[in-house]
Amino acid sequence: MSRRFTPKVVTANALLEGDAVWLAADDSWVRDMTRAELLEDEEHAKARLALATGQPGRVVGAYLADAKAGPDGPEPTHFREDFRTRGPSNYPLGKQAGEDAHV
């Protein structure tokens, strides 16, 4: 018996800065997970991941991460993804300092 597909987002790291990024519905990479495209169909998720892995000049390490619909957009369901939404752990740099650069 196969497992039921659970909602996902495509995530990766920006090649130049190393920041965690998520793939939005318009094919852009965003640094705010709530702006990511929530994927609820397995075949569509595979296609979006293929698009992401085909951008080696922009991102590295693309993968599908479990997510759920939240009031403001996708939210993480696993502590690893929750941690990644807060940016690098080398405070005071990155998201903790309020930087909002774009890929």
CA dihedral 46, 48, 53, 56 (to 10 degrees): 180
Residue 97: is its pLDDT beyond 70?
Answer: no
* pLDDT (tens digit per residue) in 19-34: 999 999 999 999 999 9
Q: Spell out the domain ranges in the chain.
A: 8-87
Q: pLDDT tens-digit profile of 41-67?
A: 999 999 999 999 999 999 999 999 999
Could you tell me which of 5, 3, 21 has the C-alpha nearest to residue 13?
21
End-to-end Cα spacing for the chain: 40
Provide the token pair at 21: 């990024």
Residue 101's pLDDT band (cuts 50, 70, 90): very low
